[in-house]
Amino acid sequence: MPKDRKITRKGVEVTEARDTGYTPADGSKWPTGDPPADVEEALDARAADAATHSLVDGTRAFTGTVAGVEPVDNADLATKEYVDTSAGFHFNYFQTDTASDIGGYFDMIDMSMGEIESSHTLGPAGGGDGQLIASFATLPGEPGILSLDAGPYDYHFHAERTAGTRSVTIYWELYKRILAGAETLLDTSEVSGEITDKADQDLHLTLSANVDLETTDRLVLKVYANLGTGSPTTVVLYQEGTTDSHITIGVDSSVLNNIFVRKDKPVQKLQYVELSADTDDYPIDLDGGTAITITEVYAETDTGTVTFNLYWRSRGSLSTSPGTQILTDDAIADSNGYTEPGDGSGFDDATIEAKKKVFVVVSAVSGSPTKLWIDVEYTID
């Protein structure tokens, strides 16, 4: 009589008995023919389970998220957390002569706009250290990241002593500014060599540890001059044109959350405006690199009312007010809030073409408001 033999059926090892059909590996026997229904179900379940296992040759892809641990060796797979904390990026912010929404400050923007050369002047000034030449701030909502990386930060600038005989050296300070307006000094740079003729220089500071940020925090650059003895002296700090003075900052990969945005999800940006006049224009930070469609606008004041509208302008016409109107009617915001659509007549032109800038144009105030919050929701087209 032929001998029994072991076979694998649907991933389960059984013994095939020539005289009685199938028997389990422990020797117990089933009737001749197919296994009982409960055994067949067990075999099917085992086979289905095996079909969900990843294969070592990579031919079966993962269908869900797989957790991991922090890699150690060069050949180890990396987790998202490890990549996010390890990858670093750099931004340049260029100083301008455009007045910021912060009184006495000037805009610091993330691209060179190709404007003609401009300048800021100190003096004629007497002797003394720490004399402020100019203060620059990023636009509301910028840089919109979660942290600044530890390490060196560079300030590339062009400066000149145009009058007087006092010795001149320059240094800079980096601050973070929260939504409410308070500023925290992050670090102070080295001091430059003596400034005489117009020339470019680089000054550095080093953050000893990462600096946590809120997405509504702004960065502030303040440039100072130390003046020695001699006759009253004038110091000029240049920017734009061929003298693109700028700072370079290090950021982690959370910056990608603002650069690569899923087009099927709305983006929400909260802007903060310090009202410096009864009527004024304030740039706000939306995604200027791609076309967008505004879907909702919410505005709220600290007290009183602010009458405003939103407009977009093209590069080369940023100072041309008002621009292309976005809201059909002017909005009147108070401390209880204003929402569009809902409280007004909707949008006159809610689609903003790529490389346009959006401005809040305030036409009237009442009741002495000092702050206006603008919350804009939009989609990437």
Q: What is the pLDDT along the chain (381 residues), one digit of tens a residue?
A: 455 555 555 455 555 444 444 455 555 555 555 556 666 676 666 666 666 666 666 666 666 666 767 676 767 776 665 555 555 567 789 999 999 989 999 999 887 777 889 999 999 999 999 999 999 999 888 887 778 888 889 999 999 999 999 999 999 999 999 988 999 999 999 999 999 999 889 999 999 988 888 878 999 999 999 999 999 999 999 998 888 899 988 765 555 554 444 444 556 666 667 777 677 777 776 655 678 888 888 888 889 999 999 988 887 777 777 888 999 999 999 988 888 888 888 888 888 877 678 888 888 899 988 888 888 888 876
Mention every residue, 6+ apart, whose C-beta is less than 8 A from residue 262: 380
Residue 106 forms beta bridges with which residues? 99, 136
CATH number of 88-256: 2.60.120.260
CA–CA distance, 130 with 122 (Å, rounded to integer): 12
**Backbone Cα Rg of the chain:** 32
CA–CA distance, 288 with 358 (Å, rounded to integer): 8
Residues in the chain, total: 381
Element containing residue 24 per DSSP (H, E): strand 21-24
Let me know if the fold of 88-256 is the same as that of 261-380: yes
End-to-end CA distance of the chain: 77
pLDDT at 112: 76
Look at residues 221, 47, 219, 252 and name the one whose alpha carbon lies nearest to residue 138.
Answer: 219
Count the Cβ atoms, other than its own, within 10 Å of residue 45. 13
Supply 13's token pair. 């090892």
Is the model's pTM score more than 0.85? no
CA–CA distance, 110 with 255 (Å, rounded to integer): 13
Segments making up each domain of the chain, as ranges: 5-50, 88-256, 261-380
pLDDT at 42: 66
Mention every residue, 6+ apart, whose C-beta is less than 8 A from residue 86: none
CA–CA distance, 76 with 85 (Å, rounded to integer): 16
pLDDT at 13: 55
Query: Contact at 8 Å (CB) between 360 and 343?
Result: no
Mention every residue, 6+ apart, whose C-beta is less than 8 A from residue 122: 131, 132, 133, 225, 234, 235, 236, 237
Give the position of tokens 């700090």: 237
Count Cα neighbours of 53 within 13 Å in the Cβ-side half-sphere: 9
pLDDT at 260: 44
Residue 158 forms beta bridges with which residues? 200, 238
CATH number of 261-380, picked from 3.30.160, 1.10.10, 2.60.120, 2.20.25: 2.60.120
Tell me the H-state helices in the chain.
37-50, 80-86, 256-259
pLDDT at 141: 81
Write the DSSP assignment of 214-259 as a string of letters.
-TT-EEEEEEEEEE-SSS-EEEEEEESTT---EEEEEEEGGGHHHH
Query: Contact at 8 Å (CB) between 166 and 225?
Result: no
